[in-house]
Chains A and B, each alone.
Chain A
Amino acid sequence: MRILILNGNPKADYVEFDSYIEDLKQSLEYKSHKVKNIMLRNLQLHDCIGCYTCWLKTPGVCCFNDGIEDILKEYLAADVVILSSPIIMYYVSALLKRVNDRLLPLGHPFLVLRDHRMSHVQRYNRYPKTTLLLDNQKEFDRESFQLIELVYKKSVRGLAKIWSTKQNVEEITDEVVNI
């Protein structure tokens, strides 16, 4: 399988998180998966400014040419995307959320009814399964997990799985093939 890991750790001095991701990558590669790991804090990505250029002017293409293209390409090419982030203020990092917002070009503005509520038409035929990997350092993180899950479960393409860095990387590697 092709697996894309988006590392949303904003802090270079939080090395444990980055090395966990590196271990996970190796573990996945050991099982013959093709893994790409993108360190988001090394890119100078803009926040989405809600201009809708990617829907109305240059369909499918963002107004910012700041490296988001490569992420979108990798995203679409993957079978599984692992959005990863430390929990900061009980939620995923702003850095990871930024990429979440910048996925707008993958959709189309047209409305459809899905599960009794409004939704958008999908631009592409095929999308990867999305998963979340969160750290788990403090006593409050259990509750954050539930809150984050609640929000992400509502999202368009859903959330296939939520993992914690408390799990060992082999466990996640085993689970990846079954989602």
Chain B
Amino acid sequence: MKLSIFNGSPKLGINNTGILLESFITGFQETPDNEVEMIRMNNEQSYKDAAIRFEAAEAVLIAFPLYSYAMPAGVKTFLEQLEPLLGKCTGKKVGFLVQFGFVEAIHARGLEKYLEHLTKALDCDYEGIIIKGGCDGISRNKKGAKKILMGAYEIGKTYGIEKVFNKEQLDKYSAPEIQKKQNPFVMKILFRLINKLYWEKSFKKNGVTYESSFARPYEN
């Protein structure tokens, strides 16, 4: 099977989407004869080129980070290029991978509905969506993200063998849906730790103090 993978991270260099995809692809290619075509989209010309590759592809995985609860603007530019293909992609398989910073899957559920609707409007077969939160740091700390990457590998492997996503596997991977079951007190302490150990450290590295990080340059 040949899978065309579109990476829509707007970053110029290394990106979390790409790292997650690497693991997925390793799993996918465990099955002999599985082939991957990678399409990177992060500038105007690449969205146009990607639309041509999309039209020619048999099976597609569109991967990107969640930006303000939806696709990044650039990925929307790509989708707008597909307008002439509405209703004309009969038989094309299309799946998605959406990863993001917040931990809970619920952040991407609105978008999921949209992507499914769009896929059907193109008359593609909707394969499903891999949703994974908590991915902010994976390109900086691959070791710390071992579980996340292993999960992507397993999903790729299953997809490579069965040629369809396993819904149960995807749901398990996306959990938790929300944090209701967690103790809010524990969560607050955890966030304080992340703020202190991660964000404050990043400020410092850039010569920004705790106070100046709260700057309000456009206050009225």
Contacts and interface: CB of A to CB of B under 8 A. Distances in A.
Interface of A: 47-51, 55-57, 59-61, 69, 72-73, 76-77, 88-95, 97-98, 100-101, 103, 108-113, 116-119, 123-124, 140, 143, 147-148, 150-155
Nearest to B103: A118
Interface residues of B, number: 59
B90 interface: no
Contacts of A73: 218
Nearest to A97: B73
A24 B42 CA distance: 36
B18 interface: no
B203 A88 contact: no
Given A50-B10, A147-B117, A108 B213 contact: yes
Shortest beta-carbon contacts, A-B, top 7: A151-B110, A98-B73, A94-B76, A150-B110, A111-B191, A59-B215, A94-B77
Contact of A88 (B12, B80, B104, B110): B80
B188 to A, nearest CB: 6
A101 B11 contact: no
A160 to B, nearest CB: 16
Given A59-B208, A59-B212, A93-B76, A117 B203 contact: no
A151 B111 CA distance: 6
Main secondary structure of the interface of A (DSSP, over half): mixed
B217 A60 contact: yes
A17 to B, nearest CB: 16
A74 B121 CA distance: 37
Contacts of B178: 116-117
Contact of A56 (B80, B106, B121, B206): B206
A124 B218 CA distance: 9
Contacts of B67: 48, 50, 97, 100-101
A91 B215 CA distance: 34
Nearest to B101: A118
Contacts of B9: 50
